[in-house]
């Protein structure tokens, strides 16, 4: 199945997520929460790590990250101030100096090289244009420490016949899904230098997703 084309501009994306922020928690509970549980399990978080979640949305996964890493550094970025506001509300008393939520764009990650032990990214790549995929994979790679982990989930094509319904929705009613559509991101991670450790296909209430755990390969030093 082909990957549907999409365009990206920050103004439209912010406007779209301003409109859906109020019911996003219900949507994710019904379609993405199962993937989120796999993400947290695969992330294998240990306290005192330095963790970035890109496109943290309303904070469903970010809150778990903070709970599992109370003495580490937890940074969540998102393009949408409205989604971030909901994430802040969800954190409640968990707000602390080592917890940062701020606006940011995956295409211009404002972090130095090799800063993070773990990068998490859920259901964002599927709304970006395919020609941005190599850049996104490279940015994840750049900000991870050697041997660092990336755990990412995306809207996928799915393996079951019923999953194809969602391709139809993405194709014919894209506005209903804020432009998200099924994608396959693994090849871009491999091209960027990642080693794929795990890939799991999930179907939740017929909605298909893929969770991938990848690792930044240690650089091989030649001539030593
Ligand atoms: C489908 S929602 C997923 C939210 C959250 N990750 C979750 O799983 O609940 C997509 C999120 O990606 C954010 N987003 C879209 N484009 C982005 C970009 N270029 N950089 C950072 N965040 C972006 C949106 O604002 C929105 O919060």
**Domain residue ranges of the chain, discontinuous segments joined by +:** 10-216
Counts of helices then strands in the chain (DSSP H, E): 8, 7
CB-hemisphere CA count at 13 Å for 38? Answer: 22
Pocket test for ligand 1, best of 21, 52, 57, 126 (most atoms within 8 A of CB): 57
Token pair 């091209």 in the structure block, residue: 191
**Residue 120: DSSP 8-state:** E
Please tell me whether residue 93 adopts helix, strand or coil conformation: helix
Encode pLDDT of 72-128 as tens digits.
Answer: 999 999 999 999 999 999 999 888 889 999 999 999 999 999 999 999 999 999 999
pLDDT score, position 221: 60
142: Cβ contacts below 8 Å, ≥ 6 apart: 109, 113, 114
Token pair 């094509």 in the structure block, residue: 157
Cβ atoms of 143 and 116 within 8 Å: the answer is: yes
Cβ atoms of 150 and 121 within 8 Å: the answer is: yes
Distance 57 CA to ligand 1 centre (A): 5
Angstrom distance (rounded) from CA 124 to CA 212: 14
Nearest atom (ligand 1) to Cα of 121: 6
Angstrom distance (rounded) from CA 123 to CA 156: 10
Distance 19 CA to ligand 1 centre (A): 13
Which pair of structure tokens corresponds to residue 164?
């194809």
Residue 223 pLDDT grade (very low, low, confident, very high; cuts 50, 70, 90) = low
Q: Is pLDDT of 224 > 80? A: no
Distance 121 CA to ligand 1 centre (A): 8
Distance 136 CA to ligand 1 centre (A): 13
Cβ atoms of 101 and 76 within 8 Å: the answer is: yes
pTM score over 0.75 = yes
Q: Is pLDDT of 70 > 80? A: yes
Nearest atom (ligand 1) to Cα of 56: 6
Q: Is pLDDT of 176 > 60? A: yes
pLDDT score, position 93: 85
Angstrom distance (rounded) from CA 6 to CA 136: 15
Cβ atoms of 28 and 87 within 8 Å: the answer is: no
Residue 134 pLDDT grade (very low, low, confident, very high; cuts 50, 70, 90) = very high
Distance 22 CA to ligand 1 centre (A): 14
Angstrom distance (rounded) from CA 35 to CA 208: 9
Distance 58 CA to ligand 1 centre (A): 9
Is the torsion defined by CA of 79, 56, 143, 39 positive or negative?
negative
Cβ atoms of 73 and 45 within 8 Å: the answer is: no
Rg of the chain in Å (alpha carbons): 17
As for ligand 1, residues whose beta carbon falls within 6 Å of it are: 13, 17, 28, 32, 54-58, 60, 78-80, 83, 105-107, 122-124, 127, 180
Nearest atom (ligand 1) to Cα of 180: 1
CATH of 10-216, one of 1.10.3720.10, 3.40.50.150, 3.30.450.20, 3.30.420.80: 3.40.50.150
Distance 219 CA to ligand 1 centre (A): 30
pLDDT score, position 218: 73
Of all protein residues, the one whose alpha carbon is nearest to atom 5 of ligand 1 is 57
């Amino acid at each position: 199945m082909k990957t549907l084309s999409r365009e990206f501009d920050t103004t439209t994306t912010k406007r779209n997520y301003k409109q859906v922020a109020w019911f996003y928690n219900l949507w994710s509970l019904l379609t993405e929460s199962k993937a989120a549980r796999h993400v947290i399990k695969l992330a294998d978080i240990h306290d005192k790590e330095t963790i970035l979640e890109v496109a943290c949305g309303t904070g469903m996964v970010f809150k778990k990250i903070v709970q599992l890493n109370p003495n580490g550094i937890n940074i969540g970025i998102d393009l949408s101030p409205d989604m971030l506001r909901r994430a802040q509300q969800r954190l409640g008393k968990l707000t602390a100096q080592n917890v940062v939520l701020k606006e940011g764009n995956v295409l211009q990650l404002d972090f130095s090289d090799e800063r993070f032990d773990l990068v998490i990214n859920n259901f964002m790549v599927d709304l970006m244009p395919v020609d941005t995929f190599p850049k996104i994979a490279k940015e994840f790679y750049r900000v991870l420490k050697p041997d660092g982990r990336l755990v990412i989930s995306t809207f996928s094509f799915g393996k079951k016949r019923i999953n194809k319904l969602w391709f139809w929705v993405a194709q014919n009613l894209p506005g209903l899904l804020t432009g998200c559509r099924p994608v396959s991101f693994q090849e871009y991670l491999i091209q960027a230098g990642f080693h794929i450790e795990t890939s799991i296909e999930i179907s939740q209430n017929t909605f298909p997703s893929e969770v991938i755990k990848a690792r930044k390969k240690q650089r091989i030093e030649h001539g030593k």
